[in-house]
Amino acid sequence: MKNKVFALIDCNAFYVSCERVFNPKLNNQPVVALSNNDGCIIARSKEAKALGIKMGVPLFKVRDIIKKEKVHVFSSNYTLYGDMSRRVMNIIAEFTNDIEIYSIDEAFIGLDGVPGDIEKYGHKIRKTVLQHTGIPVSIGIANTKTLAKVANHIAKDDISFLGVCSLLKFKNIDKLLSSVAVGEVWGIGRQLSKKLNMHGIYNVQQLKNIEDYRIRKMMSINGLKTVTELRGVSCLPLEEVRATRKSCCTSRSFGRSLQELEDIQQAVAIFSRRAAERIRSEKLLASNVSVFLRTSPFDKKNKYYFNSSSIHLSVSTNDTIEIVKAASRITSQIFKLGYLYQKAGVLLSGFYNEGEEPVDLFSTNYKIRDNLMETIDSINNRFGGDTIKVASEQHLGTWTQKKEKCSPSYTTNIDTLLVVD
DNA sequence: TCTGGGGTCCTAGGACCC
DNA sequence: TCTGGGGTCCTAGGACCC
């Protein structure tokens, strides 16, 4: 059988690249993008990386470097990044139907049967995406998804590849693999890395040669899949159809800590509504609602508290009002006075597709609010997500998140369209 | 002062049943 | 005094991903 061919296309420092598209002055400058609440650094330009700013580091820990080196800082603008992602994926989809959108900035594609030089084809994709969207990407090509990830890593790391690394052209990739640390492999995180290092396994070449039973023992069943893929045997197929989700969580850290049940109830009401809206848009019904609360795990002066609980609904629903009610009941149960709460969240699960849910004999009126929800969704879609809310969301703003340096939504809001002089 | 959010999967251990 | 064995299901916690 002929070998499969996979490519992984990954946008370079995606959020930073999005900002640069609309603000070319940022090119060749150190730039970072922040997580929600302006908490951590989650994207860095290569100039920012060179300054030693690490991925995931809290903003306050690198304030000095940022000031001294005049690093440009952006709050996260998911409206912009989401729209740019859609554009990038659409361009890629013009090259092949075999596409798995893996994350906001990554896609796997299948390249079986592409005639001619596959590496050249990769360069063509790269050039087209850059030309049509302004977003630079790196492409890794190999016989398995895990190796395509490795190849992508090499393409990013070694500029001599010019953004595209195909492992297919190498007779023997062992030398290349011996230069890649195990921790860089897809599926091997901090803990596993540490464990492997303790066993004297540091690079991918070494990992490939460990006996299966040892891999299985150290890394469990998925680890064995990972290593098999590193050996060139494909175990992970392209997943072109997104599986229906198993849970839907909306959670936020508060801009300041909250102590009153009333404030937390308001936040939970908002999270409930957003989660309900999201599952409605996917035509799902939830049969389980859970809520969690916690204080800051970093606050050494005050006592830590975490609690969560859930309610099983005998009639599954995606009705905002039902879900807010359930979440509010849970919140009252798990709330304890005397703590400084820093984060809360609502998690929906136990999904059924609309129309496939079990019906409760004793409930006859559970569908009466369908029309109401439809109307609310269409109004909110048209006039903005927060136009219609539920009453328990009143007095918003006591805990709003930090977002000090957000760029405009250039591509989705007519008022912030770029003007060319 | 200031530390994100949203997912998935696996495993171990307890509850429960016959 | 001596106190089985095997199966399933659920949950919590930990690991991973971006």
Q: At what angle do helices A78-93 and A118-133 cross, to 10 degrees?
A: 140
**Length A309 CA → B14 C1' (Å):** 19
Q: Separation of CA A23 and C1' B9 in angstroms?
A: 40
Decide: CB of A191 under 7 A of nucleic strand C: yes
Whether A26 and A137 map to the same domain: the answer is yes
Rounded Cα gap, residues A286 and A372, in angstroms: 18
Distance between the alpha carbon (CA) of A371 and the C1' atom of C15, Å: 43
| Strand C and A88 CB separated by under 7 Å | no
What's the pLDDT score for residue A375? Answer: 77
Task: Identify the residues numbered 338 to 367 in chain A whose C-beta atom is closer than 7 Å to any atom of strand C.
Answer: none
**Domain membership flag for residue A45:** yes
> In A104-176, which ranges are E strands?
106-110, 137-142, 164-166
Residues A257 and A212 occupy one common structural domain? no
Calpha distance A100→A88 (Å, rounded): 13
Is the C-beta of residue A189 closer than 7 Å to nucleic acid chain C?
yes
Is A80 found in the same domain as A14? yes
CA A222, C1' B9: Å apart? 9
Distance between CA A197 and CA A159 in Å, rounded?
A: 28
Residues A89 and A182 in one domain: no
The CA–C1' separation of A349 and C10, in angstroms, is 15
Could you tell me the distance in Å between the CA of residue A114 and the C1' of nucleotide B7? 33
Read off the CATH number of the domain in which A155 is found: 3.30.70.270
Look at residues A242, A257, A273 and tell me which one is the last residue of a structural domain. Answer: A242
Check residues 108 to 167 of chain A and report those whose beta carbon is under 7 Å from nucleic acid strand C: 149
| Nearest amino-acid residue to B10, taking CA and C1' | A220
Task: Retrieve residue A68's tokens.
Answer: 């001294």
The closest alpha carbon to A284, from A325, A345, A242, belongs to A242
Pairing of strands A41-44, A31-34: antiparallel
Contact (CB, 8 A) for A215 and A227: yes
Whether residues A165 and A177 fall in one domain: no
CA of A81 to C1' of B1 (A): 29
- Would you say residue A90 lies in a domain? yes
Residue type for position A104: I
Q: What is the CATH number of the domain that holds A184?
A: 1.10.150.20
Residue A75 contacts strand C, CB under 7 A = no
List Cβ neighbours of A269 (8 Å cut-off, separation of 6 or more): A324, A327, A328, A390, A392, A393
Query: Domain boundary residue among A169, A202, A223?
Result: A169
Contact A358, A346 (CB under 8 A): no
Distance A350 CA to C12 C1' (A): 17
Which residue numbers in chain A have pLDDT < 50? none
DSSP per-residue codes, A47-59: HHHHTTPPTT-BG
Q: Which nucleotides of C are covered by protein (CB under 7 A)?
A: 14-18
A350: buried, middle or exposed (CB in 10 Å: 19+, 13-18, 0-12)?
A: middle
Residues with CB under 7 A from strand B: A 35-37, 39-40, 42, 56, 58-60, 63, 220-222, 243, 245-253, 257, 278, 296, 298-299, 342-343, 345, 401
Residues A87 and A235 occupy one common structural domain: no
Cα Rg, chain A, nearest whole Å = 24
The answer to the question of residue A165 being in a domain is: yes
Is position A407 within any domain?
A: no
| Rounded-to-integer distance, Cα A163 and Cα A154, Å | 9
Would you state the pLDDT for residue A107? 98
Pair A154, A47 in one domain:
yes
A137 Cβ contact partners less than 8 Å away, ≥ 6 residues apart: A9, A10, A11, A12, A88, A125, A126, A129, A130, A163
A214-235 pLDDT, tens digit each: 999 999 999 999 999 999 999 9
Which position has the token pair 């508290």? A305
Query: In angstroms, how far is C4 C1' from A290 CA?
Result: 39
Residue A237 is predicted with a pLDDT of: 96
For helices A370-383 and A261-281, angle between their N-to-C axes, nearest 10 degrees: 90
Residue A412, in any domain of the structure: no
Answer whether residue A403 is part of any domain.
no
CA of A222 vs C1' of B11, distance in Å?
A: 12
- Measured over the CA atoms of residue A38, residue A43, residue A48 and residue A53, the dihedral's sign is positive
This prediction has a pTM of 0.93
Sign of the alpha-carbon dihedral angle for A129, A130, A134, A140: positive
Query: Which residues span the domain enclosing A63?
Result: 7-169
* Contacts of residue A29, Cβ cutoff 8 Å, sequence gap at least 6: A45, A47, A70, A72
Provide the number of structural domains found in chain A.
Answer: 3
Q: Please report, for the domain that includes residue A310, its CATH number.
A: 3.30.1490.100
Question: What's the CA gap between A109 and A99, in Å, rounded?
Answer: 4
Nearest nucleotide by C1' from A192 CA? C15
pLDDT tens for A362-390 read: 665 556 677 778 777 777 776 666 777 76
Same domain flag for A83 and A179: no
The nt closest to A104 (CA vs C1′) is: C18
Residue A196 shares a structural domain with residue A154: no
In the structure encoding, which two tokens stand for residue A7, read together? 């490519």
Domain boundary among A105, A134, A169: A169
Gap between the Cα atoms of A142 and A151, Å rounded: 7
B18 C1' to A314 CA distance, Å: 29
Which nucleotides of strand B come closer than 7 angstroms to any CB of the protein?
1-11
Give the residues across from A249 on adjacent strands.
A347
